[in-house]
Amino acid sequence: MMMRERGGGLVLPGTGERLGILSGVVLAVSSFTGWYSGDGSDQGVSISVLGWNTGILGKLVLFIGLIVVLVLALRELGIQPPAALPESLVTIALGALGTILVLVRLISIPDTFAGTSGRSIGLWIALGSALAVIAAGLLRAGEEL
C-alpha cells in the first residue's frame, strides 16, 4: 500500500472509507447491545435494555449505521453520488445525526425504563462509533481533495 503526502503528513489511501465502513457496522450492531441496565426487582435480578427496545431512536441508529455502510459500499460497486453531494458530506451528516440520536438517549432515559437508570457499555459504544463516522467523513473529505 502506497502512502501519499498531504499537507505535511502521510495519509494512507482509503483510510476514511475503511474507518467509515467499520464504524457504520459497529453503529448498526450497537443498537442490539445493552444501553441501560439496573435491578429488575427485589429478587436480585439484573436487567438490561437493548438499544432496539428504546423506541424509534434505537431503531434509527441501526438504520443510520446501515446507510453509512451502504453509501460507502456503493462506491466500490461503481455508483458515484452526484458531484453536488460529495460522499464525505453525506457521511459526516449521517454521523452527526447518529451522534445526536445517541446523545438524546444518553441524556434522557425513556420513562418505561425508569428502573434501569444505569447506562450500559452499548450506549457508549454507539456514541463512539457515531463520532467515528464523523471522523471517517472528515478523512474522506481530505482524501477527495
DSSP string, 37-60: EEE-STT--EEEEEGGGG-HHHHH
What are the cell numbers at 126? Answer: 454507539
Cβ atoms of 68 and 137 closer than 8 Å: no
Residue 12 is predicted with a pLDDT of 60
pLDDT tens for the chain, 145 residues: list them: 444 445 555 556 578 888 999 999 999 999 999 988 877 666 677 788 888 988 899 999 999 999 999 998 887 788 877 878 888 899 999 999 999 999 999 998 777 766 667 888 999 999 999 999 999 999 988 877 7
In angstroms, the CA 51 to CA 37 distance is 11
DSSP string, 41-110: STT--EEEEEGGGG-HHHHHHHHHHHHHHHHHHHHHTT-PPPTTS-HHHHHHHHHHHHHHHHHHHHH---
Residue 42 is predicted with a pLDDT of 62
Q: Which of 136, 114, 143 is nearest to 68 (CA)?
A: 136
Cβ atoms of 62 and 102 closer than 8 Å: no
CB atoms within 10 A of CB 67: 18
Q: Where are the domains of the chain?
A: 14-38+49-144
Tallying the residues shown for the chain, one arrives at 145
Q: Which of 98, 137, 133, 127 is nearest to 23 (CA)?
A: 133
Q: Is the pTM of this model over 0.85?
A: no
